Structure 1
Amino acid sequence: MTPALHAEWTKLRTVAAPRWLLLGSIAATVALSAAVTSVVTCTSAGCGGDVTRLSLIGVQIGQAPVAVLAVLVIAGEYGTGMIRTTLTATPHRITALAAKAVVLTGSVAAAGTVAVLGSLLAGRLTLPGRGFTDAHGHPALSLADGPTLRAATGSILYLILIALFSLGVATVLRDSATGIGVVLGLLYLFPVLAQVIGDPHWQRPLQRIGPSVGLAVQATGDVRGLPIGPWAGLGVTAGWAAATLTAAALLLHIRDA
């Protein structure tokens, strides 16, 4: 396993695309969060708003570069034919896939931590100036607050799970363009359909089954009113990741390179 990890880490750090995608994820996450928190206002005591979730809204777009990176980690090798070299160097195919998953997890965890902390810092700095103050019932954002810490930690875990989900999809499809299209479609289609469909009979299931429902972990207020609980939502995302990785491992084992 160690040689396979070293090989995957070498490939990831010596190619420009992964670095730019990780930096892009950080920049997109923090920029969107900062933009949103700089325009919202709270003009009176008791004004609504989940300031933690608001500060972490950038994760919704920051997940896209993470998904693209995860797809390219293996689908890119199928496109260039390098997958044959990888599997020759690591004949045990499940080990090769596991090594990619471990290196991807570490990289996304590091980038996700920077992105999430940057977003919370942006919210802490800008929200008081927009009226979200103690006087209005909104204390400054702090990781010492249990729900905020859970939202921050959960957001990082969510990005990791999206990366693993995307890796699994890409391994099954073996094509970069198709993999990216399928992953981004699944991530963003369910929330859009849930908004478009007005019938609660169909709307609620759509709000509870997509891979992006793990973003519910960011909620810190009115949790009981959510279509799905914070940790339950993250569990659904984990289920998508586990299912695609299981299918990926099976197909990688039985198919020709």
Structure 2
Amino acid sequence: MRRELHAEWTKLRTVAAPGLLLLGAVVLTVAGSAVAAAVMTCPSAGCGQDAARISLFGVQIGQGLVALLAVVAVCGEYGTGMIRTSLTAMPRRIAGLAVRAGLLAGLTAAAGTVAVLGSVLAGRLLLPGNGFTPEHGHPPLSLLDGPTLRAAAGSVLYLVLVALISLGVATAVRDSAAATGAVLGLLYLFPLVVLMVRNQDLQLMLWRLSPMNAGLAVQATTSLPSMLIGPWAGLGVVAAWAAAALVGGGLLLRSRDA
């Protein structure tokens, strides 16, 4: 595995796109969270707002660039034809995919941690000015608070799983435009399609299967009994999507020519 690890790391660090996408994901996540914290208000006690979830809103924006990171990492080789050289040098295709998944997961976790910490800090600084005060039942955000820590850590895990879903889809599709459309559609369009379903039972089932709806439930720190899916159960749904994408992509990678 050392050979595959060295090769994949060399490919990732010698092109500019992955670094720029990771930086962009951090910036967009923190900026989106700061904007959300700046515009949301809690004018009175019991306003019903979830301060932790507001401060992590930017994850919904940053996940798009995380998804693109995996697409670029995979489809760039197919676009230039370098995939033939890679497969010749590393004939163990599944091992190569596993190493690539590990590297992407590690890089996404590092960038996601920075982004989430910045988002929580933005919420801690901005929300009190909009009424999220101890008097209204909202103490300052702190990672020492169990639910807030779970929301923050879960958001990082969610971003990692999004990267793995994208990796699996890109490996299966091999075309950057198609892979980007498929992953972004799954993240952003699927929840909109669910709202158009009239059958309530079917709508509920699809809502629970939506990666973004289910996965971001981990950010909730209030009104947990009334949620349609629990925080960790929702993250489990995203993990199942990631596993399915990686298995499907791995099987196709192993069975067909470059």
| Shorter-chain TM-score above 0.5 | yes
- Report the counterpart of residue 116 of structure 2 in structure 1: 116
- Report the counterpart of residue 168 of structure 2 in structure 1: 168
The SS at the match of 1:85 is helix
| Cα deviation, residue 57, structure 1 | 0.7
Q: Distance in 1 between matches of 2:52 and 2:196?
A: 26
Cα RMSD after superposing both structures: 1.1
What is the correspondence of 1:92-131 to structure 2 with a 5 Å cutoff? 92-131=92-131
- Report the counterpart of residue 9 of structure 1 in structure 2: 9
Query: Percent same amino acid among aligned pairs?
Result: 64
Q: Which amino acid aligns with 1:125?
A: L
Matched, 1:142 2:142: yes
- Report the counterpart of residue 73 of structure 1 in structure 2: 73
Q: Distance in 1 between matches of 2:153 and 2:230?
A: 15
Q: Distance in 2 between matches of 1:194 and 1:219?
A: 21
- Report the counterpart of residue 235 of structure 1 in structure 2: 236
Q: What are the Cα deviations for residues 216-244 of structure 1, in whole angstroms up to 9, with x where unaligned?
A: 11111111211111101100000000001
Q: What are the Cα deviations for residues 155-213 of structure 1, in whole angstroms up to 9, with x where unaligned?
A: 00000000001000011111111000000001112221234445533321221002222
What is the correspondence of 1:35-74 to structure 2 with a 5 Å cutoff? 35-74=35-74
Q: Distance in 1 between matches of 2:45 and 2:249?
A: 52
Q: Distance in 2 between matches of 1:4 and 1:23?
A: 25
Instruction: Verify the 8 A CA contact 2:22 2:108 in the aligned structure 1.
Output: yes
Structure 1 segments of 4 or more deviating over 3 A? 194-199
Q: Distance in 1 between matches of 2:57 and 2:195?
A: 17
Instruction: Verify the 8 A CA contact 1:193 1:206 in the aligned structure 2.
Output: no
Q: Which amino acid aligns with 1:217?
A: V
Matched, 1:27 2:20: no
Relative to structure 2, which stretch is displaced further, 219-228 or 124-133? 219-228
Q: Distance in 1 between matches of 2:250 and 2:203?
A: 33
Structure 1: gaps spanning 5 or more residues: none
Number of residue equivalences: 257
Structure 2: gaps spanning 5 or more residues: none
- Report the counterpart of residue 256 of structure 1 in structure 2: 257
Q: What are the Cα deviations for residues 33-90 of structure 1, in whole angstroms up to 9, with x where unaligned?
A: 1001101111112211011011101100100000011111111111111111111111
Q: Which amino acid aligns with 1:2?
A: R
- Report the counterpart of residue 227 of structure 2 in structure 1: 226
The TM-score with structure 2 as length reference comes to 0.97
Instruction: Verify the 8 A CA contact 2:17 2:72 in the aligned structure 1.
Output: no
- Report the counterpart of residue 204 of structure 1 in structure 2: 204
The TM-score with structure 1 as length reference comes to 0.97
Relative to structure 2, which stretch is displaced further, 221-230 or 165-174? 221-230
| Cα deviation, residue 132, structure 1 | 0.3
Instruction: Verify the 8 A CA contact 1:86 1:96 in the aligned structure 2.
Output: no
Q: Distance in 2 between matches of 1:49 and 1:194?
A: 24
The SS at the match of 1:52 is helix
Q: Distance in 2 between matches of 1:99 and 1:189?
A: 30
